[in-house]
Amino acid sequence: MTDIQQTVYVVEDDEAVRDSLELLLKSDGKQVKTYPSATDFLGDYSEQMAGCIVLDIRMPGMDGMELQKKLNGRHSLLPIIFVTGHGDVPLAVDAMKEGAVDFIQKPYREEALLEKIESALEQDQEQRKTLGERQEIVRKIKTLTPRETEIMERMIAGQANKVIAIELDISQRTVEIHRSRVMHKMGTHSLAHLVRMVLSVKDLIDVG
């Protein structure tokens, strides 16, 4: 997942601030894209976007908090750093509860903002790596036959081969063959590892 190009998305209605942030980020070697409004960003948003968002909390029309809620509704992975004014700290705390990774108060030191952005980009990369691994587990599960899936569910539930054989009215040898195929297709030799793999994707697929 490290080959994905990360971009810092700046959503800021003040043109001067927007331009200065773009210059700062480009001078630090970051790829950056700016938007004058939350609506403009939302219109451009796709789940393929990687990086982070530097988002002004107060803007005319759709404000930063509203954009955050809409992105949460779309299950966006992009970490959000809110830029707040002097009286906006309570709002920023609410934003953190909704999943924002950080906030920075105006006026801020450029170094402090760059540190927060670097941290957000690292978080984004780790999230996407984890998601990629989970999607690969789902792909493997989908290669199982209905019978193999049934056997796997019983394995995860802790049932012994003999019990599985009795309940499914098949021979214990048949269970052993299916069990071996499940482990091979899932790419593991450990039942404990198999259990952890399947539990990690419970929200993505109906297994177990």
Can you give the pLDDT at residue 206?
Answer: 64
CA 69 to CA 159: how far, in whole Å? 43
The pTM of the full predicted model, rounded to 2 decimals, is 0.74
CB-CB contact of 31 with 6 (8 Å): yes
CA torsion sign, 34 to 38 to 42 to 45? positive
Print pLDDT tens along the chain (208 aa): 445 789 999 999 999 999 999 999 999 999 999 999 999 999 999 988 999 999 999 999 999 999 999 999 988 989 999 998 877 778 888 888 888 899 999 889 999 999 999 999 999 999 999 889 999 999 999 999 999 999 999 999 999 999 999 999 999 999 999 999 999 999 999 898 999 999 989 877 765 4
pLDDT score for 172 = 95
Position 18 scores a pLDDT of 95
Domains in the chain (CATH in brackets) are 7-128 (3.40.50.2300), 142-199 (1.10.10.10)
The predicted pLDDT at position 98 comes to: 86
30 phi-psi bin (left φ>0, alpha ψ -120 to 50, beta other): beta
Q: Are 79 and 52 in contact (CB under 8 A)?
A: yes
Look up residue 105 and give its two tokens: 């108060």
Angle among Cα 174, 175, 178 to the nearest 5 degrees reads: 85
